[in-house]
Structure 1
Amino acid sequence: MPPLKSLIPGLALSLLLAFASIWAAELAIMREFGFSALTIAIVGGMIIGNTIYPLFAAPCHEGINFSKAKLLRLGIILFGFRLTFQDIAGVGLAGILIDALVLTSTFLLAWYLGRKVFGLDEESTILIGAGSAICGAAAVLATEPVLRAKADKVAVAVATVVVFGTLAMFVYPAAWHALVKAGYLANNEFAYGVFSGATIHEVAQVVAAGKAVSEDAATSAVITKMIRVMMLAPFLLILSSWLAKRHRGSGPGRGKVQIPWFAVLFLVVAGFNSLDLLSHPLVTWIVSFDNLMLAAAMAALGLTTHISAIRQAGVKPLALAALLFVWLIAGGALISSTLLAWL
């Protein structure tokens, strides 16, 4: 690790942007539109990174890289304090199976469309697929260390989940109210919540879409979403193993399984949190600290993302995310309605 002195400027800048993002995320207008601190952090980082940051980038370089790598992993590990295994009981076996099927089908569809139809590179395809299938920006960030992806590809993937996750937050409740009023759907708020939690990208967007229907809908939506988030760890382990087999013999170190220990520790922390050994105020403080770590990592990512690189990516990543969004609505509705009726 670089000397502490060399980390201070970049680390301080990342944390400053993170604090500002967390503050901005609490503003009424930001909460209304479901913009999380992570989204605000990367956008703010990109604005500064493409304007004034090059003037003082040199002394900040080490600290920014530290934020993107170490603070990111710490943030993913501590994310486990948002979950308990008891959450699973809230939606039952149907909720777990719905999450698993939506995740698997969405990612496999992303791989087919991204590689075979749009001809996207492997990193972009996996990042967009993970963000759409699991939990938006957090999933993209967690997948990046496994892929060792470039900052601009991560930023493009984050941008796609922000666009369609925000759209979902408004489309879902509006469509629900319209279909119930027209008599095409039964007024089953629990089912709406499970469907929303299993298919909408970001946790903040799930909360907003759920509360737009009712508090009961929001509760089942958030529980379903957090179970989907919990599936991030096994997803990363499977992805690492699959990538190792895919690239075996293609270069030094490319064929080795890179176990994402931060993902394993994420599950360990969730298990520890399930024991309810810590006081609620302490867990709340840890979650707030975790928000800071993830926002700092996002800000650092934004600072090193060049708009020109995103422009070069073209419309294909957005087109892929759009088709996945359509699948999440149509396919997610089919999966959730079928399993809820059976189980």
Structure 2
Amino acid sequence: MQKIFDFIKATYFGIGFIAIIAILSFIIANTSYIKNMHISVLIIGICLGAICSFIFLRHKQHLESGINFSAKNLLRIGIVLFGFNISLSGIASLGFKGFFIALIIVSVIFSSGYFIGTRILKLDKQISMLISIGSAVCGAAAILALESVIKSQSYKNVAALASIVIFGLLGMFLFPTLINSGIIPLDDMEKGLFLGAALHEVANVVGAAGAIISPNNQAILESAIILKMIRVILLVPLLLIISFLISKDNKTGKIYIPWFAIFFLFAIIINSIIEIPIHILQIIKTTSNMFLVFAMIALGLQIDFKKIKQIGLKIFILSIVLFIFLAILSFILVVRL
């Protein structure tokens, strides 16, 4: 009971602050003008969060716990609950193509990033690995997971996280714009697969897919998240391989397992074998959407524009090379396979 009280005491300022922005986001999203423009409440949330980021930075000690909880825990819970919108038949609709795309993306981007970082740009091995795994798998979560294995210094983690956040957000806004304008020519299924393959964070995928203008937006969101979650699950074997290769130097390294990805799959299985009442599914869907909006706002609030200036040139070059390569490779795989 005391732990619950301490948690509420530590997080209620931050969660309350996000709740106010979330209410404003839903109000704006439901105006006729925004509805006609088909702008997702997720996009509105992250934009309002970014606008209000200076408030978070000024009052960080009071808001940080609640905002971190929203950005990490509520995002993961929202994704798990989203699994009840998906069935095994939906995953089967991606077929071998979806798994093959995810496997190629993770293996090629990580190995290419490590090679370019260490051999061409002469960067530190650890920071090359951190940026590469963030681009290849699932952004900040993958970086933090790898950090627990290789025990890298904090400044390397910060630099890698900053670059991944910047380019993840860039892609979240850029790719939907290019898709909606027809510059990136894809059908609805390909749109979802491309976003799931080309973006860094799970949050980036959710936000970008929500911004796609299409009557089949739900299907696009489903395929995007499914492919992205396959990439997330591949984090486990990748970390095991890395841990094995460096085991002589890091015998105490612990393996991070993305449990929310496992629970996401359990939710899909449950939804596939049990007929859940429609009104229960609607409650789950609404809760999932609300948590995802909270996570988007928290992500926006954590944007520190000053950190953009602190990224070293070589780190910036590696990040932008991987960002471009990831987009090109994703497009080729989605269209050609």
Question: Structure 1 length as normaliser, TM-score?
Answer: 0.70
Aligned to 2:10: 10
Aligned to 1:185: none
Aligned with 1:162 (options 169, 172, 175): 169
Distance 1:313 1:274, change over 3 A: farther
Deviations 1:46-80 (A, max 9, x none): 422322x15xx2x6666666666655654554453
Tell me: CA distance 1:334–1:252, structure 2 relative to 1, closer, same or farther (3 Å). closer
Alpha-carbon distance change, 192 to 272 in structure 1, aligned in 2, over 3 angstroms: closer
Aligned match for 1:264, one of 262, 265, 277: 262
Q: State the secondary structure of the residue aligned to 1:231.
A: helix
Higher mean C-alpha displacement, 168-177 vs 121-130: 121-130
Q: By how many angstroms is 1:337 displaced?
A: 3.1
What residue number does 1:97 align with?
100
The residue type equivalent to 1:94 in the other structure is K
Q: 1:87 aligns with which of 70, 86, 90?
A: 90
Q: Which residue of 1 aligns with 2:54?
A: 47
Structure 2 gap segments, 5+ residues each: 149-153, 200-204
User: Residues 59-78 of structure 1: matches in 2 within 5 Å?
Assistant: 71=74, 74-78=77-81
1:124–1:157 Cα contact (<8 Å) kept: no
**2:112 is the counterpart of 1:109:** yes
Q: 1:89 to 1:3 in 2, by over 3 A?
A: closer
Amino acid at match of 1:253: T
Corresponding residue for 2:221? Answer: 222
Quick one: which of 270, 275, 278 aligns to 1:277? 275
Distance 1:33 1:321 in 2: 27
- Is contact 2:106–2:234 with CA below 8 Å preserved after alignment? no
Determine what percentage of the aligned residue pairs are the same residue: 22
Q: Contact 1:74/1:262 (CA < 8 Å) preserved in 2?
A: yes
Considering only aligned residues, what root-mean-square deviation do their CA atoms show, in Å?
Answer: 4.2
Contact 1:98/1:198 (8 A) holds in 2: no
- Count of paired positions: 316
Deviation at 1:278, TM superposition (A): 2.4
- One-letter code aligned to 1:43: A
Alignment equivalent of 1:323, drawn from 321, 324, 331: 321
The runs of 5 or more residues in structure 1 that have no matched partner are 180-187
Deviates more, 1:35-44 or 1:89-98: 35-44
Amino acid at match of 1:162: L
What is the match of residue 184 of structure 1? none
Counterparts of 1:175 and 1:154, CA distance in 2: 31
Specify whether residues 65 and 19 from structure 1 end up closer, same or farther in structure 2 by C-alpha distance, changes over 3 A only.
closer
How far has the Cα of 1:231 moved from its partner? 0.4
Question: What is the deviation of 1:308?
Answer: 5.2
Q: Secondary structure at the match of 1:86?
A: helix
Q: For the structure 1 residues 233 and 272, does the alpha-carbon distance in structure 2 shift closer, same or farther, using more than 3 Å as the test? A: farther
Q: Say which of 282, 287, 290 aligns to 1:289.
A: 287
Cα deviation, residue 303, structure 1? 6.7
Aligned partners of 1:127 and 1:157 also within 8 Å: yes
Q: Kindly tell me: are residues 198 and 41 of structure 1, through their superposed partners in 2, closer, same or farther at Cα, counting changes over 3 Å? A: same
CA distance in 2, matches of 1:62, 1:34: 24
Q: Deviations over 1:167-204 (max 9, x none)?
A: 11122343548x7xxxxxxxx73575366345443233
The equivalent of 2:236 in structure 1 is: 237
Q: What's the CA shift for 1:161?
A: 0.8
Judge conservation of contact 1:2–1:62 (CA < 8 Å) in 2. no
| CA distance in 2: counterparts of 1:42 and 1:125, whole angstroms | 30
Alpha-carbon distance in structure 2 between the residues aligned to 1:278 and 1:316: 52
